Amino acid sequence: MTPFGARLRALRAARGITLKQLAAELQVSSAYLSALEHGKRGTPSAGLVHQVNEFFGLIWDDAEDLNRLARLSNPRVVVDTGGLTPEQTALANRLAQVIHRLPPETVASLHATLDSSGAGPKPRLRRLARKGP
């Protein structure tokens, strides 16, 4: 499941909206929405994210959070290690090999390490995935 998919599912559950109902409102197939929720489709378009924001009445920070989650939801990430050190390349390869086996605590620890290194803004995935409308 992607961060966007988790948030979309949480929004639907909080409002009692079925996948079929939301699909009809957004004029997309329920199969497409299901694939988005489960990480089987790529990053949703900006237009679709806008429609979701409007449907659920998300504004300001909540709307921007959903947009940010959509940008973080590519289920097929490619890491170009060209020009990086051998250690950085090895790390990228090791992570690709074991990420599916990492326990949630380790993932949270890796996020914390990246956050403290100044490597970019913290995505706040856990809070946003569980956040209600």
Q: What is the CATH number of domain 3-75+123-130?
A: 1.10.260.40
CA distance 101 to 89: 20
Tokens read off for 18: 């079925």
Q: How many CB atoms lie within 10 A of CB 56?
A: 20
Q: How many CB atoms lie within 10 A of CB 118?
A: 6
95-127: pLDDT as tens digits: 999 999 999 999 999 989 988 987 665 555 544
63-101: pLDDT as tens digits: 999 999 999 898 888 899 999 999 999 999 999 999 999
Non-local (6+) Cβ contacts of 99 within 8 A are none
No. of helices (H) and no. of strands (E), the chain: 8, 0
pTM of the complete model: 0.72
